[in-house]
């Protein structure tokens, strides 16, 4: 009977779910096309609608200032 009680305890250990590692998150910045105000992605998701402080709804993604140079083949 000792073996029967030990078997159910061993089963949950085998069914353990793998620990999910959090995905690396990075901030994306957008700028208003009309006034040029820079807003982060987190701030845009807090608001009920995507709108700038000036009332304009068109944003462009701000690119990082890194310039990549590729050698010609």
Whether 29 is in a domain gets the answer yes
> How far apart are alpha carbons 38 and 28 in whole angstroms?
10
pLDDT of 8 higher than 60: no
In a 13 Å sphere around the CA of 38, the CA atoms on its Cβ side amount to 5
Whether 5 is in a domain gets the answer no
Whether 14 is in a domain gets the answer no
Domain of residue 42, residue span: 25-65
pLDDT of residue 73: 80
State if pTM tops 0.75: no
65 class by beta-carbon count within 10 Å (0-12 exposed, 13-18 middle, 19+ buried) = exposed
Whether 70 is in a domain gets the answer no
Whether 37 is in a domain gets the answer yes
Whether 71 is in a domain gets the answer no
Give the list of residues 6+ apart from residue 40 with CB closer than 8 angstroms, or none. 27, 28, 29, 30
Whether 35 is in a domain gets the answer yes
Give the other-Cβ count within 10 Å of 31's Cβ: 15
Question: Which residues define the annotated binding site for Zn(2+)?
Answer: 35, 52, 54
Whether 41 is in a domain gets the answer yes
Question: Which residues define the annotated binding site?
Answer: 35, 52, 54
14-71 pLDDT, tens digit per residue, is 556 666 655 556 788 999 999 999 999 888 888 888 889 899 999 999 987 888 888 9
Q: What residues does 30 pair with on adjacent strands? A: 39, 61
Number of domains in the chain: 1
């Amino acid at each position: 009977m000792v073996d029967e009680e030990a078997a159910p305890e061993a089963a949950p250990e085998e069914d353990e779910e793998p620990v999910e590692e959090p995905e690396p998150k990075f901030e994306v910045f957008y700028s208003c096309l009309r006034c040029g105000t820079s807003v982060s992605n987190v701030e845009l998701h807090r608001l009920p609608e995507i709108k700038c402080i000036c009332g304009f709804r068109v944003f462009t993604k701000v690119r990082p200032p890194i310039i990549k140079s590729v050698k010609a083949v």
